[in-house]
Structures are given as structure tokens and as C-alpha cells.
């Protein structure tokens, strides 16, 4: 007998994509705990690896090599990834506050957010400098500065190992680019004082070889634009100022009510905070039982113990203790491909030490490039004829990629009898109808999405914007919505948490649009699905597909490519940053664009499952025209073309492609048939008003809007490319 999926009953939440959590996720992917829902919260789709930062700064590694792709990692672990910054934890209510998301509940929680080298007490630092941690923003800022031309003046505040590594790496990088550089290393005490004397002396020699200017035992009073002012009245000029002085905790940790030490979360030998449900690891934690300096090696060694204790806490088992090693191997980059090693009082330097460090770092990162995959179970035998063909060559996409094909849909709709009521005006080809209600004109539509992203709040926002697309496209003002929600099998507690996230997210968007939730229906099933039936009020005649005139310009308000990116996400081939960009695009509302276009559009639709070519054809067929699309003018989401060139496409692609034999096959043209979820508005606008309309769109929050082609007389319904 077939075993149904086990219900999810416990929420395990990981805050931060630090080294420990990254390893926990990878191990969880190989052996998840049945019944536990795993969530990762991180500000961005990637997490930089600190061990390779000096090599990146020096130019030995690319930006991509520095990052762990958390989207791919979370997918392998079957974890939902919430992109946002945590602003607080409330242990009493068991919730986490996030800047981009409704509060998230937890049963067991782990914190691995690292540290910052920000110096809030130093006047002018926040305005004129960039802290070396968190690494992501620093790496992006340095990448931009490094690639400029002309003389460079750089200052690093903090003369510890991290500051020395950065100074030498920056000097090497700028020398490679033939940029005359002046590098300042500044400290209020003696630099490298925490190292053994022999290692400190070796590092001083390496620093001197780069002609780095040392400023020791000096006090900084304040920072100005390109200046560091000292208490003796002198100043240091620098175009790029960073801070690597000490480890500072994030301020919100102290507001949790948990026990802290100098702002760091205090943990016991089982890595638990003062609340036994909450664990903390890495640099944000203070090990009260065995205090140690902030170093990535401890975070890596904590991972197996943390994983065991998290699973035991969720299942009611005993916990293990974590015993940190007394000393650890320090491998310090020396700018060029050379390094210094230090352990147990021994010091050794040379290119071979760099090679050793490089192998260790690459081995650590390689495990996140090669992720475990669940094997696909074989099809049963014997089986009914046609099963394999019906399944298709790839897994079924979510969102609009899961729509029924055009042929099957149109043939089914053709069996319906004409509307029998006189107060209903069906609009052939449109996804909505106009109702006459008490003298008012009301647009009525429905839309429904199967989940393709495990964050229910994000799916709710996308589904709501997607459903509103029909209302906006017809020039109506949103009025009311009912929701139809299918949740996967969950305990009552988890179901309540999930439903609250969905309703809160949907209501925020609907109320911003001027509409309200007035009811709905919920049920349990295999997958999360969210549907909305929406009404809108018309103050003028509806904008339909059939009003376009020959010569009209076609304006598209969003880039395309969501289908191919989300399909590649399913196969583990999409870059996390590209997935995040696609999700952002799908969550962009069209309220302002609809108002701008509504004043000039002759015909309009929202871009959904049939892709740009299919929806353009719908306008042409309804208006009795042909269209020519300017291929290079069509805006694309970052990563979409690269994936198309690699042969990736949605499961609905082949169906969308049928019937367009006049359009040649190429990576660019394939994207014309890419099903869109939460796509932009496609409007036919008089040619003499197109440029002014485009300018208004750009000025009002739709910078990717573009004129992508025009309509003309010809074979009705034909779409060509230029």
C-alpha cells in the first residue's frame, strides 16, 4: 500500500547562512528528519566564505568562487529559504521578526549570523567607510573600486590579522592593475599583537615589502569624505576606507532577552543559549564553557554536533557536547600567492603554504558545488500505455509553467454553451468577464498557482499580483478577493503559521491595490497551491484584446524569463542570484503601470503562461492584425538567456512553441515562448504616444519597460520577429 507523505509537525529555523549552517544543510540533505520543516533565513541568496576573502581581494578568486549558493543548498535540503534580514527574536511567542516577511514561528532555532566589523561609535564611519564584515557588501564595494583606473589611496582600520591580510591583498591587487597605490594600516595599539612574536615579525616583513604605511598607537577622532582625522590634528587621505577592527555582534542579539556576553549569545557545551530551544554557533556565539577567539575553524567543527543536537531537540533525544580544540592551524594570506602558517609556536611561510591553504579552501567550497540529489524512483511496470509520454521529458513546472496547454484548453472551452445571462459580457480570449451589477460594471477573474518556491509568503505575494494582472489589464480598480488555498499535510500549529503568512502577505498587496479579502476556502493536499478570485470595478469601458489599431506600438512593463529560471531551479542549474532576481520581478506590482497605460492603451493583457509570443498572438487574433517583435528590444531577466543557451526550458515550452513555425529557433527566440508567472502588462499604444508613455513608466518605478515591437495589417494572428 502506498505510504502518504508524513505530515510536518515541527519547525526548525536556521538564521544565517554561515559556515556551520551551510554544513548542517548539506548533511540534512543526505539524511533529513521526517516530520520536520526546515527553514533558512538569510539576507541574500548567497553567503560568502571568509577563508577565501583575502584571495578574492587580491584577485586570485572570482566573486562567484567566494560565494556559497544558498538557493541550491536549500533546495537540496528541501528547506524553504526566506530572503530577508532578521530584526529580532521573541522567545516568549516563539517567533522571528524579519524585515521583508511576516513573523516566522519556530519550535527549534539556531543562529549563525556571524559578526560585523562596523564601528558605530566612530563618527563618520557609517557614512564614509565600509566594514569588512559582513563580507557580501564589502566584497561588492571592493570589486567596484578595484576595477577603476588611476592612483588609489586605501585605508584599513584595524591592525589585527584580518586587517593585515586585507592590506597586503589590496596592495597586490592594485599593483596587478598598474594602479599607483598608497595603503594605510591603522591601529590604536601595536599591530599583530595577538600573534606569537615570530609570526608577527614575519608578517611585518611582508607588510613592509608592499610599502604599506603603518599607523600604530594612534587615535581616530572622526571620518570625513576621503579623510581619516587623528587626535594629533593630522589626517590620512583615502578613497576607500574599510574597518577590520575587532568582532562586533549585531545589536539585535542583545534585545532577544537571551543571555549575552559583550553582546554575543552565550552558549553552553551543547551549543544552547539560555533558552534550550535556541542554539547559536560561529562568531555570533560566546562559548562560556570554553572561550575561544573568533575563527572559522570552530564554526566548521561545530557543525556535526549542532546537526545532532537540532535533530535530537526536534525528536526528543539526548544532546551531545561540543569540545573545541585548544589551538588551531592559522593560515594567513600574504597578498600574492604566498601564505604564513602558525600553530603550536611554529611559523612557516612560502608559496607551498598558499597551495596548502588553497586546497583546504577549495575542498570546503567544492562540497557545496556537488550537492546530494534524491534518486528518481523508477516507473512501475507494468503500467498503462501513454504514462511515460504524459509525464514528459522533465518534471512538471510550478506557477504558470504548470498550466494546461493552449490546444487542450481551447478545445475544452469550445464545448461550453454561450452565456445565458444578459448581465454577463464574456470577452473571447480574455481571462475575465464584465458583469453588470446594479448599474455598475464589474470585472470578474480567477487565477491559481501551484507552488514553485517553498516560502509561502512569497508565493502568496506572487499569486496575488498574478491574479490582479487581469484586473489591471482591463483598466479596472480592484475591489474584492476570495482565496482558495491548498496546504501540504501539516500539524495544526504549522498549518496556522503557514496560513497566517499567506493571508497577511496577500492582504497587504490587496489593500494597497484598494481591495479586501472577503472569504475563501482551505484544504490539505500534496502541494501548496494558492488561488484568488478577484473582482474589479470599471469606471469606463473595459480595455480588451480586440481594440488594437494597425501601427500601434507594443509596450512590455517587465522582463521575461521566469519560466526558464524556475525550471532550472528545479533541476539545480540556476544561480541563486538569478532566482532571487526572478522572484523580485514576480513580486513587483503593476498598479502604477496599469494607471499609466490605461489612459492610452488600445488593447492590453497581462503576460502569463502562454508566453510573450502567445499573448501577442491573442491581441493580434482579437484585433485582426499581425505583429512584428524586435527581438533585441525584449527585456530579459538576468540569467535567462544563459540558461536558454544551455538548453533549459519550462515543461510548457514545447506546447507554447507549437504553431509558430515562422519564428526560427535560437536561444533568444525560445524565450518568446517562455511561460511567465506574475509577468508584466503588454499594451498596444498609439505610436505617437509610445515614447512619452515609456518615459512615464521609467519615471514611476518600471525601469525595465520597453517598446518591443508593433502591430500592422497582415495575416491575422501572425507574430514575426525583426
Q: What is the model's pLDDT at position 421?
A: 82
Helices marked H in 177-295: 197-209
Catalytic member of 284, 397, 400, 620:
400
Closest CA to 196 of 55, 295, 51, 330: 330
For the cut 90, the answer to whether the pLDDT of residue 414 exceeds it is: no
* Helix 351-369, helix 19-30: angle, nearest 10: 50
Q: What is the pLDDT of residue 394?
A: 60
Residue 144 has pLDDT above 60, yes or no: yes
Q: Which domains does the chain have, with CATH numbers?
A: 10-115+249-329+349-369 (3.50.50.60), 125-243 (3.50.50.60), 419-542 (3.30.1330.10), 544-722 (3.90.650.10)
Residue range 212-240: average pLDDT? 94
Q: What is the pLDDT of residues 82-106, one digit of tens each?
A: 999 999 999 999 999 999 999 999 9
Q: Which residue has the higher pLDDT, 425 or 483?
A: 483
pLDDT higher than threshold 60 for residue 412 = yes
Can you give the length of the chain in residues? 722
**pLDDT at residue 410 greater than cutoff 80:** no
Mean pLDDT of 464-471: 95
**Percent of the chain at pLDDT above 90?**
75
Predicted pLDDT of residue 38: 98
Start-to-end C-alpha separation, the chain: 57
d(CA 477, CA 591): 9
pLDDT over 70 at 508, yes or no: yes
* Predicted pLDDT of residue 196: 87
Enter the pTM of the model: 0.90
Mean pLDDT of 428-451: 84
Which position has the higher pLDDT, 325 or 267? 267
pLDDT in tens, 639-662: 999 999 999 999 889 999 998 999
User: Residue 398: which pLDDT band, with cuts at 50, 70 and 90?
Assistant: low
| Residues linked to residue 227 through DSSP beta bridges, in sequence order | 224, 237
Predicted local confidence at residue 378, as pLDDT: 79
With beta carbons less than 8 A apart as the criterion, state whether 481 and 534 touch. Answer: yes
d(CA 354, CA 698): 49
How confident is residue 336, by pLDDT bands cut at 50, 70 and 90? very high
Residue 1 — pLDDT band, cuts 50, 70, 90?
Answer: very low
Average pLDDT over residues 120-149: 88
Express each pLDDT in 610-632 by its tens digit. 999 999 999 999 999 999 999 99
And the C-alpha cell for 394? 522533465
Q: What are the φ/ψ torsions at residue 255 (nearest 5 degrees)? A: -90, 5
- pLDDT value at position 329? 82
More confident residue, 356 or 119: 356
Q: Is 397 a catalytic residue?
A: no
Amino acid at each position: 500500500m502506498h505510504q502518504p507523505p508524513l505530515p510536518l509537525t515541527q519547525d526548525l529555523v536556521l538564521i544565517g547562512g554561515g559556515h556551520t549552517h551551510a554544513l548542517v544543510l548539506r548533511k540534512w540533505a543526505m539524511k533529513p528528519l521526517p516530520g520536520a520543516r526546515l527553514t533558512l533565513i538569510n539576507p541574500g541568496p548567497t553567503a560568502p566564505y571568509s577563508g577565501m576573502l583575502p584571495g578574492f581581494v587580491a584577485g586570485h578568486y572570482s566573486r562567484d568562487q567566494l560565494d556559497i549558493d544558498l538557493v541550491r543548498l536549500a533546495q537540496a535540503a528541501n528547506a524553504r529559504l526566506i530572503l530577508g534580514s532578521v530584526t529580532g527574536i521573541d522567545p516568549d511567542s516563539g517567533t522571528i521578526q524579519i524585515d521583508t516577511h511576516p513573523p516566522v514561528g519556530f519550535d527549534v532555532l539556531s543562529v549563525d549570523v556571524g559578526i560585523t566589523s562596523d564601528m558605530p561609535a566612530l563618527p563618520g564611519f557609517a557614512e564614509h567607510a565600509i566594514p569588512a564584515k559582513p563580507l557580501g557588501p564589502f566584497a561588492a564595494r571592493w570589486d567596484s573600486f578595484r576595477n577603476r583606473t588611476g592612483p588609489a589611496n586605501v585605508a584599513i582600520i584595524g591592525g589585527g590579522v584580518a586587517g593585515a591580510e586585507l592590506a597586503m591583498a589590496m596592495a597586490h591587487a592594485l599593483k596587478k592593475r598598474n594602479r599607483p597605490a598608497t595603503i594605510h594600516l591603522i591601529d590604536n595599539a601595536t599591530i599583530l599583537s595577538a600573534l606569537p612574536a615570530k609570526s608577527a615579525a614575519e608578517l611585518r616583513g611582508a607588510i613592509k615589502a608592499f610599502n604599506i604605511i603603518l599607523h600604530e598607537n594612534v587615535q581616530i577622532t572622526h571620518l570625513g569624505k576621503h579623510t581619516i582625522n587623528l587626535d594629533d590634528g593630522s589626517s590620512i587621505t583615502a578613497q576607500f576606507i574599510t574597518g577590520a577592527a575587532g568582532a562586533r555582534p549585531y545589536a539585535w542579539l542583545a534585545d532577544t532577552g537571551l543571555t549575552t556576553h559583550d553582546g554575543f549569545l552565550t552558549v553552553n557545551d551543547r551549543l544552547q543559549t539560555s533558552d534550550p530551544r535556541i542554539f547559536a554557533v560561529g562568531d555570533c556565539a560566546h562559548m562560556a564553557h570554553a572561550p575561544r577567539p573568533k575563527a572559522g575553524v570552530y564554526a566548521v567543527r561545530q557543525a556535526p554536533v549542532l546537526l545532532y543536537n537540532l535533530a535530537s531537540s526536534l525528536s526528543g533525544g539526548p544532546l551531545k557536547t561540543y569540545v573545541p580544540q585548544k589551538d588551531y592551524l592559522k593560515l594567513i594570506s600574504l597578498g600574492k600567492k604566498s601564505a604564513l602558517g602558525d600553530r603550536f609556536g611554529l611559523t612557516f611561510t612560502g608559496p607551498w603554504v598558499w597551495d596548502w591553504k588553497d586546497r583546504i579552501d577549495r575542498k570546503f567550497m567544492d562540497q557545496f558545488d556537488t550537492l546530494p540529489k534524491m534518486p528518481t524512483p523508477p516507473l512501475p511496470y507494468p503500467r498503462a500505455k501513454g504514462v511515460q509520454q504524459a509525464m514528459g521529458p522533465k518534471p512538471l513546472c510550478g506557477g504558470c509553467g504548470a498550466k494546461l496547454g493552449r490546444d487542450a484548453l481551447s478545445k475544452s472551452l469550445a464545448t461550453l454553451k454561450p452565456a445565458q445571462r444578459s448581465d454577463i459580457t464574456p470577452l473571447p480570449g480574455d481571462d475575465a468577464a464584465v458583469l453588470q451589477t446594479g448599474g455598475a460594471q464589474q470585472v470578474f477573474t480567477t487565477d491559481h498557482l501551484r507552488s514553485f518556491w517553498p516560502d509561502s509568503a512569497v508565493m502568496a505575494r506572487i499569486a496575488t499580483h498574478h491574479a490582479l494582472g487581469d484586473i489591471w489589464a482591463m483598466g479596472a480598480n480592484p475591489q474584492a478577493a476570495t482565496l482558495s488555498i491548498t496546504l501540504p499535510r501539516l500539524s495544526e500549529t504549522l498549518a496556522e503559521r503557514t496560513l497566517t503568512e499567506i493571508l497577511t502577505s496577500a492582504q497587504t498587496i490587496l489593500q494597497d491595490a484598494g481591495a479586501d479579502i472577503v472569504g475563501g476556502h482551505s484544504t490539505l493536499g500534496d502541494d501548496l497551491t494558492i488561488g484568488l478570485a478577484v473582482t474589479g470595478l470599471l469606471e469606463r469601458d473595459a480595455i480588451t484584446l480586440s481594440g488594437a489599431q494597425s501601427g500601434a506600438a507594443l509596450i512590455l512593463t517587465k522582463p521575461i524569463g521566469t519560466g526558464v529560471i524556475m525550471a532550472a531551479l528545479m533541476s539545480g542549474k540556476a544561480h541563486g542570484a538569478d532566482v532571487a532576481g526572478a522572484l523580485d520581478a514576480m513580486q513587483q506590482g503593476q498598479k502604477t503601470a496599469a494607471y499609466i497605460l490605461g489612459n492610452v492603451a488600445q488593447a492590453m493583457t497581462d503576460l502569463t503562461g502562454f508566453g510573450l509570443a502567445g499573448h501577442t498572438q491573442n491581441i493580434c487574433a482579437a484585433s485582426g492584425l499581425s505583429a512584428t517583435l524586435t527581438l533585441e528590444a525584449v527585456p530579459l531577466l538576468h540569467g535567462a538567456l544563459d540558461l536558454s543557451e544551455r538548453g533549459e526550458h519550462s515543461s510548457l515550452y514545447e506546447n507554447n512553441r507549437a504553431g509558430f513555425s515562422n519564428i526560427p529557433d535560437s536561444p533568444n527566440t525560445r524565450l518568446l515562448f517562455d511561460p511567465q508567472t506574475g509577468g508584466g502588462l503588454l499594451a498596444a499604444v498609439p505610436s505617437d504616444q509610445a515614447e512619452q508613455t515609456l518615459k512615464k513608466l521609467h519615471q514611476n518605478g518600471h525601469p525595465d519597460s520597453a517598446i518591443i515591437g508593433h502591430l500592422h495589417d497582415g495575416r491575422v494572428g501572425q507574430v514575426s520577429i525583426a
